Chain A
Amino acid sequence: MLLSIYLHRLSFTYMFLTVWNYALYFHIGETEKKCFIEEIPDETMVIGKYRTQLWDKHSNSFLAATPGLGMHVEIKDPDTKIILSRQYGSDGRFTFTSHTPGEHQICLHSNSTKMALFSGGKLRVHLDIQVGEHTNNYPEIAAKDKLTELQLRVRQLLDQVEQIQKEQNYQRYREERFRMTSESTNQRVLWWSIAQTLILIVTGVWQMKHLKSFFEAKKLV
C-alpha cells in the first residue's frame, strides 16, 4: 500500500518535472527590470515564452501563477524604438519579427496589481527565447504540408541554411560599419594631430611676441 503511494508520488514528480519544466529560470525582485539582448539579422522571427511562480511563505515553496501578477514586456529595436510594449498575465508568449538587423533588447519587469503579493519574496521567472529556425514547429509543418519524414528533414536543413545565409549577410553589414568607424577614427586622429600642432606653434609664437612687446613697453629689454 505504502509502496504504491510512493510509486504514484514518484511518477507524478517525474511528470511534473517534464511537463511543467520548459526552460531556464531566474529570480527577479519586485521593481527589478531584467533585459536580454538578441543580436539578429532582419526578417528573423523571435518567440519568447515565460512562466512565473511566486514564493509562498506558508508552504515554503514556489507556487504556480497567481492572478493579478503580470509581467510587462518591452522590446526595443536597434534604433531604441519600442516595437512591442505590452502587459501580459502570469504566463505569457510574445512574438516579433525584426525589420532592421542589429541588437534588439527584450526587457521584462513585473507589474503586480497588489503590492502585498510580493512582500519580501522573489518572483521566479521561467524564460525561453527561440530565434530564427528554432521557432519552426516541425511536427505542425509536417501535418500542414503533408510531408514525409525525408521531406521534413530536408525542410529543416533548408531552414538552417537560410538562417546561416541571413547571418552571413548581416555579418557583411556589420563589417562595413566597423570599417567606417575605424576609418573615421583614422581621419580624426590625423586632422586633430595636425590641428593641435598648429595651435601649439601659433600660441608659442604669440606668447613670445606678446611678451617681447610687453617687456619692451616696461623698458626691461
Chain B
Amino acid sequence: MCSMYGSFRVLLQVLSAQLLCVWVLGSELTFELPDNAKQCFYEDIIIGTKCTLEFQVVTGGHYDVDCRLEDPEGTTLYKEMKKQYDSFTFTAAKNGTYKFCFSNEFSTFTHKTVYFDFQVGDDPPLFPNENRVTALTQMESACVSIHEALKSVIDYQTHFRLREAQGRSRAEDLNTRVAFWSIGEAIILLVVSISQVVLLRSFFSDRKTTTTRVGS
C-alpha cells in the first residue's frame, strides 16, 4: 500500500514538473538534400504539445521539395508534394516519436538546400526554479509581449534572408552562365565560319579534278 502511494507520488511529481516547465525542443537547421535522396528527422513528443513545422527551399532547381509528417503510428498528418515554402501547426495527439521527411526523389540532378524550423512546445522560462504564484507585473508582461514580438521579427528576418539567398544564388549562377556561354558562342561562331569557307573550297577543288579526268 505504502509503496503504491510512493510510486504514485513520484509519478505525480514528474507529471507536475512536466506541466510547470514544458520543454522546448525547437530546432532550426539548414541542410543539403542531394538528388534522389530522402532525409528524415525524428522527435519524441509528449501528448498535448503544440508543435509547428516550417520549411523553405533555399537553393536548387525549381525550389521545391516533398515533405511528409507522420505520427508515432505512421498516420500521415501532413503531406505536400513539390512545395516551396509551408508552415504546419498541430497538437500532438499521441505520445511517441514523430517523423518528418524531405524528399528530392523526383529530381534527377539538382540538389537542394532545405531550411526547416520545428518548434515543440513553448520556450523554457527564464527562471526554471520559480514557482509562479503571483501574476506578472505590468512591466514584466510588457517585457513578455516585447519578447514575443521580437521573436516574430527574428522569424521574419530569417525568411527574408532565405529569399534573398535564393535570389542571390540565382544571380550568381546567371553571371557565370552568361560569361561561359558568351565565350562559347564566340568560339563556335569563328569555328563555323572558317569551316564553312574550307568546306566550300573543298567542293570546288574536287569538281575541278574530276572534270579534268573526264576531259582526258
Chain A interface (Cβ < 8 Å from any Cβ of B): 1, 3-5, 7-8, 10-11, 14-15, 17-18, 21-27, 34-39, 127-129, 138-139, 142, 149-150, 152-154, 156-157, 160-161, 163-164, 167-168, 171, 174-175, 177-178, 181-182, 184-185, 188-189, 192, 195-196, 199-200, 203-204, 206-207, 210-211, 214-215, 218, 220
> Is A184 a contact of B43 with CB atoms below 8 Å?
no
- For the residues of B in contact with A, the DSSP-based class is helix
Chain B interface (Cβ < 8 Å from any Cβ of A): 3-4, 6-8, 10-11, 14-15, 17-18, 23, 25, 27-32, 39-44, 46, 113, 118, 126-129, 137, 139-140, 143-144, 146-147, 150-151, 153-154, 157, 160-161, 164-165, 167-168, 171-172, 174-175, 178-179, 182-183, 185-186, 189-190, 193-194, 196-197, 200-201, 204, 208
In the assembled complex, the CB of A91 is this many whole angstroms from the nearest CB of chain B, namely: 17
> Is B27 a contact of A211 with CB atoms below 8 Å?
no
Q: Which residues of B contact A167 (CB under 8 A)?
A: 154, 157, 161
> Is A160 a contact of B147 with CB atoms below 8 Å?
yes
Name the residue of chain A whose CB is nearest to the CB of B168. Answer: A178
> Is A153 a contact of B40 with CB atoms below 8 Å?
no
Q: Looking at the complex, which one of A22, A39, A184, A206 makes contact with B175 (CB distance below 8 Å)?
A: A184
> Is B8 a contact of A25 with CB atoms below 8 Å?
no
Q: Which residues of A contact B190 (CB under 8 A)?
A: 199, 203
Bound state CA distance, A218 and B160, in angstroms? 70
In the assembled complex, the CB of A49 is this many whole angstroms from the nearest CB of chain B, namely: 11
Bound state CA distance, A35 and B127, in angstroms? 34
> Is A14 a contact of B126 with CB atoms below 8 Å?
no
In the assembled complex, the CB of B184 is this many whole angstroms from the nearest CB of chain A, namely: 11
The verdict on A4 contacting B7 (CB below 8 Å), with A149-B126, A174-B168, A185-B178 known, is yes
> Is B186 a contact of A196 with CB atoms below 8 Å?
yes
Q: Which residues of B contact A39 (CB under 8 A)?
A: 30, 161, 165
Name the residue of chain B whose CB is nearest to the CB of A34. Answer: B31
> Is A129 a contact of B27 with CB atoms below 8 Å?
yes
Q: List 13 A-B contacts (CB under 8 A).
A: A7-B11, A14-B11, A23-B43, A25-B41, A26-B39, A37-B32, A149-B126, A153-B147, A164-B153, A171-B157, A171-B164, A174-B161, A218-B208
